[in-house]
């Protein structure tokens, strides 16, 4: 499968400050990459570079085979972009705005009306297509923003925080739309909402301090999240080295006095042996509870280690 986006050794400096530090990744058709990162991690800078709004200090970006730096017009023809705050002309109706966007994209005049009709239907805008954008809810305005991004049927769609400020119903609708678009396009979705990545994306990338520190498929992520973890509380202090030596125990995470988490490999389940050891050593087992990892746990663990 040919890659729609190829990013190689991308870096961006602001003076001596390195906002993006030698990152590389690819995006193929049918993939939806969730792009995550704490504030100041380099996520927004990367999105601006990918959309052609900011030049990199070094590195290469190819969109649908065209170098974004040396063939920007050809590369951007394959690109649709929704910024975190959609640039909408709110004194126009939805149809008027999309007609204007179609002209900017160089769509032949005879094809504009059927393309707008198809896009309006695809984005669920039929009931509001003749209304002024200023009079629409935030959810419908986000849909209009997505509509302008996909109007010219680009191979690549970049969505920056598409569900910020929406109510739960609107969020559900936008997520469903993104999943539908992901079948025919390659999508990069920047978001702070971790469950959104699990529900919408096929892959997840986490950036921190300008570097990509996690790049996995959602399938592999879910496998990581289902690895074993036990919360253990004892009456007296324990020798963690003894528990760490138990087969399949990967590491032990102290929480508080006589309170810790034991992480273990799914190749085995050492729960019984852990309990027996604590009891035999006379440490007084008060609680041993299995815990399922959440995406928040993984995100915090990765970004805190890297900070």
Residue 287 located in a structural domain: yes
Q: Domain boundary at 98, 130, 153, which?
A: 153
Most confident of 86-90, 100-104, 267-271: 100-104
Residue 127 located in a structural domain: yes
Q: Which two tokens stand for residue 122?
A: 């695809």
- Cα of 79 vs its chain's centroid, Å: 18
Q: Domain boundary at 119, 153, 187, which?
A: 153
Kindly report the pTM of this predicted structure: 0.77
Q: What pLDDT does 99 receive? A: 97
Tens of pLDDT along 229-248? 889 999 999 999 999 999 98
At 67, the pLDDT band (50, 70, 90 cuts) reads: very high
Range in 4-8, 25-29, 126-130, 265-269 with the lowest mean pLDDT:
265-269
Residue 70 located in a structural domain: no
Residue 270 located in a structural domain: yes
Asked whether residue 57 carries a pLDDT value surpassing 60, the answer given is: yes
Residue 53 located in a structural domain: no
Q: At what angle do helices 94-104 and 109-122 cross, to 10 degrees?
A: 130
Asked whether residue 260 carries a pLDDT value surpassing 90, the answer given is: yes
The residue segments making up the domain with residue 146 are: 83-153
Residue 119 located in a structural domain: yes
Asked whether residue 112 carries a pLDDT value surpassing 60, the answer given is: yes
Q: What pLDDT does 165 receive? A: 76
Asked whether residue 292 carries a pLDDT value surpassing 80, the answer given is: no
d(CA 249, CA 264): 4
d(CA 251, CA 77): 49
d(CA 140, CA 156): 22
Q: Can you tell me the mean pLDDT for 136-153?
A: 92
Number of domains observed in the structure of the chain: 2
């Amino acid at each position: 499968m040919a890659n729609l986006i190829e990013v190689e050794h991308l870096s961006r400096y602001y003076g001596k400050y390195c906002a993006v530090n030698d990152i590389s990744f690819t995006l193929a058709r049918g993939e939806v990459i969730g792009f995550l990162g704490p504030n100041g991690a380099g996520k927004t800078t990367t999105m601006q570079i990918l959309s052609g709004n900011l030049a990199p200090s070094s590195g290469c970006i190819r969109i649908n085979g065209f170098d974004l730096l040396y063939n920007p017009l050809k590369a951007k023809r394959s690109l649709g972009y929704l910024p975190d705050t959609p640039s909408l002309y709110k004194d126009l109706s939805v149809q008027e705005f999309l007609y204007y966007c179609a002209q900017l994209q160089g769509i032949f005049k005879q094809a504009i009306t059927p393309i707008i009709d198809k896009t309006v239907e695809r984005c669920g805008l039929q009931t509001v297509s003749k209304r002024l954008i200023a009079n629409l809810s935030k959810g419908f305005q986000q849909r209009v923003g997505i509509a302008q991004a996909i109007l010219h049927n680009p191979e690549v769609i970049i969505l920056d925080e598409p569900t910020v400020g929406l109510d739960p119903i609107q969020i559900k609708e936008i997520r469903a739309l993104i999943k539908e678009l992901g079948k025919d396009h390659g999508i990069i979705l920047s978001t702070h909402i971790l469950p959104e990545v699990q529900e919408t994306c096929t892959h997840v990338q986490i950036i921190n301090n300008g570097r990509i520190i996690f790049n996995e498929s959602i399938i592999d992520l879910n496998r990581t999240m289902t690895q074993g973890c036990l919360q253990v509380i004892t009456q007296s202090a324990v020798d963690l080295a003894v528990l760490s030596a138990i087969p399949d125990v990967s590491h032990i995470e102290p929480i508080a006095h006589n309170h810790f988490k034991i992480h273990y490999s799914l190749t085995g389940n050492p729960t019984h042996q852990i309990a027996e050891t604590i009891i035999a050593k006379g440490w007084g087992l008060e609680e041993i509870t299995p815990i399922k990892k959440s995406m928040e746990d993984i995100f915090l663990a990765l970004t805190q280690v890297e900070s």
